[in-house]
Structure 1
């Protein structure tokens, strides 16, 4: 642990210098050091997720915690500015947001002094040693829900037995997101009595009604959801090609990072198609070819408006985003070959014939045209619902709530 602390102090000091010299706001740099205004006293949990995907999957957990414990507040941290923006877009009271503190002894201590959490809840795979060890030293229990452990990560942790032991000793409760991850945690030495039932948070999607219908027929509307750099150009090329066969097609383009708006608009202009941009307040009409949905917290609206969804992060090697959200909204799924982040789910979809995998813009264009049919969409969405239902965590979250209640004294059990 000493060597890690020395390494972390140097690495985060250099990163902090980059923040000061870069475009980061003074408030963001201060939050990274665990500082900021002193919050009002209240029973509080600390929930951390890396960014948008993890926090989106944890939204149902957050809502349940707040509903079951009316006096509870939650400080939600993320590693990205967009993560905080997403949480604030929920418009929910009793939630504070901040950048996660640097994983150094001083920054974590300042954060814990400031917020005084009763427990730390980690979403998926953010295993930061200082946060875990500092919480354990203060008697703050650590919970990990929907934990993911890839083969590569397991090999990495396998080479660090001392550090791994310190982290695992701090964990009160861990629920893996799939059987393979659970087996890897066991093999790495996490005691079996600290393992809860498997919970895939991404399967627990709560759909929220669309408040603003779009003037497009749903069956001929494609959503490109959470696309990344290098991916929009491929989607746009495919859509432009598909339009030659089906001029009635429309595209909702929802990039993962809205800050990239200007470069994405430039790419859209090259297609020669008409477009409107959400963040600019542009009017969208039946004649709009492409709607750039570059805002946070509105993905439910776009899933609800699209009969088919291309899942981003899969044509470029970003691991692929979750298929559970489009499936929950009955939007037929297309995706690229890079789906390691949800490999089990995509494997189930493939076996059920419930999704279409493409590897090139030409293949995507062909798939879009073939899928722009209401009957085929309905068949695929039924197949997807059935295939993914088997991956649900069942009552695993209730076991988590009970364990958290036992550790904190909060009234979190199901009434």
Structure 2
């Protein structure tokens, strides 16, 4: 632990310099820089507070059900949300929660934050395991819970090279709800007391579809039963999607495609590929609709595309990107299709495949075949229900709520 603190102290000036450079380039504001240095001001009125930390938007969004449940159960407690990114901070602020960029992993900075906000419980998400932060919580008597704890084999090997630091860090965790059974086993092997390991609970399984404002023109142009979605595609996948669509429409002439790239900045090149393949294209960013292919080149609208599509190919899974979440399309009742690269959600896809609730494809031909097999509305609905059942995690969620309730400070009388 001492060596870690020494190394971090030596690296801190470099990290601060990088943060200052982002500030000078306009990528971060002054508040973010101050928060990284542990200089963010405390609240005007102190009250017992839950401090939740997430890496960025995706992890933070998965914790929304936890925030809502604890807020309803204990309205007397305040909240502080920290994230590693400005966009994550702004997302939390948009929910009406006090939020700031997380401080560097320096024990003094964490202790200042704990004191300024009267922190009584620290929740950290997935793989955000910061030794000094956890040590500062322990020194201040603040229990730490890790939600959706994720520890890959590679990360576990890295921790294993510093066994003293691992024991000191994992031994101070009051409760860990692992994202999968393998992560749970690795946490215990590295020093988490077995009795503090809770049941598997993947926070992303708690996703609830948002309320969407209706867009009748889109619904008319892209009927759900005749529309499929390629969700969050990466470079190297659009060619496969285009080939599959052209093959599938020979059996289903009215087939429509919504193509949503992971990075909309690539939209121009993708539109050129679609046009070269003889497909008509509408660009969402231009307010267009009605073409055979809708290029969803905007951010933050994936729920709308899930709602329009009866069949969803979850991308990032035909290239070595680890795949994207199956939970969100399953929550919309979509029939799921994915490739073999699903390391990011291995346990979830294993449950889907074991239940026969998702189709695994390798290339354009097998993707086209999967689309054809799910061509009937009844089959799409059946597959969607099967996916939702396979990914249901009510038991894990109930256990997590009980564990967190036990860690909260006593309620005022």
TM range (shorter): 0.7 to 0.9
Partner residue, 1:32: 36
Partner residue, 1:252: 258
Cα distance, 1:139 vs. partner?
1.7
Correspondence for 1:329 among 327, 332, 338: 332
Correspondence for 2:400 among 390, 397, 401: 397
Contact 2:82 2:102 in 1 (8 A): yes
Correspondence for 1:338 among 338, 341, 356: 341
Correspondence for 1:387 among 379, 390, 394: 390
3-state SS, counterpart of residue 271 of structure 1: helix
In the TM superposition, what whole-angstrom CA distance separates every residue of 1:31-63 from its partner, at most 9, and x where no partner exists? Answer: 322333443324321111223332222111111
Contact 1:33 1:108 in 2 (8 A): no
Once residues 32 and 275 of structure 1 are traced to their aligned partners in structure 2, the CA distance between those partners, rounded to angstroms, is 42
2:74 corresponds to 1:73? no
Once residues 295 and 212 of structure 2 are traced to their aligned partners in structure 1, the CA distance between those partners, rounded to angstroms, is 16
2:299 corresponds to 1:274? no
3-state SS, counterpart of residue 389 of structure 1: coil
Matches within 5 A, 1:205-284: 205-213=207-215, 214-215=218-219, 216-228=222-234, 230-232=236-238, 234-235=240-241, 238-239=244-245, 242=248, 246=252, 248-256=254-262, 260-272=263-275, 273-277=280-284, 280=285, 282-284=286-288
Once residues 87 and 291 of structure 1 are traced to their aligned partners in structure 2, the CA distance between those partners, rounded to angstroms, is 29
Q: Which runs of 5+ in 1 are unaligned?
A: none
Contact 1:34 1:109 in 2 (8 A): no
Once residues 80 and 87 of structure 1 are traced to their aligned partners in structure 2, the CA distance between those partners, rounded to angstroms, is 11
2:16 corresponds to 1:9? no
Cα 1:227/1:14, change in 2 over 3 Å: farther
3-state SS, counterpart of residue 145 of structure 2: strand
Contact 2:228 2:309 in 1 (8 A): yes
Cα distance, 1:255 vs. partner?
4.4
Partner residue, 1:129: 131
Larger Rg: 2
- Of stretches 22-31 and 393-402 in structure 1, the one that deviates more from structure 2 is 22-31
Partner residue, 2:317: 314
**TM-score between the two structures when normalised by the length of structure 1:** 0.85
Cα distance, 1:362 vs. partner?
4.5
Partner residue, 1:181: 183
What number of residue pairs does the alignment pair up?
399
**TM-score between the two structures when normalised by the length of structure 2:** 0.85
- Of stretches 330-339 and 217-226 in structure 1, the one that deviates more from structure 2 is 217-226
Once residues 64 and 188 of structure 1 are traced to their aligned partners in structure 2, the CA distance between those partners, rounded to angstroms, is 31
Partner residue, 1:374: 377
Contact 1:276 1:288 in 2 (8 A): no
Q: Where has structure 1 moved over 6 Å in runs of 4 or more?
A: none
Cα distance, 1:194 vs. partner?
1.9
Cα 1:73/1:5, change in 2 over 3 Å: same
Partner residue, 2:162: 160
Correspondence for 1:49 among 37, 41, 54: 54
- Of stretches 4-13 and 106-115 in structure 1, the one that deviates more from structure 2 is 106-115
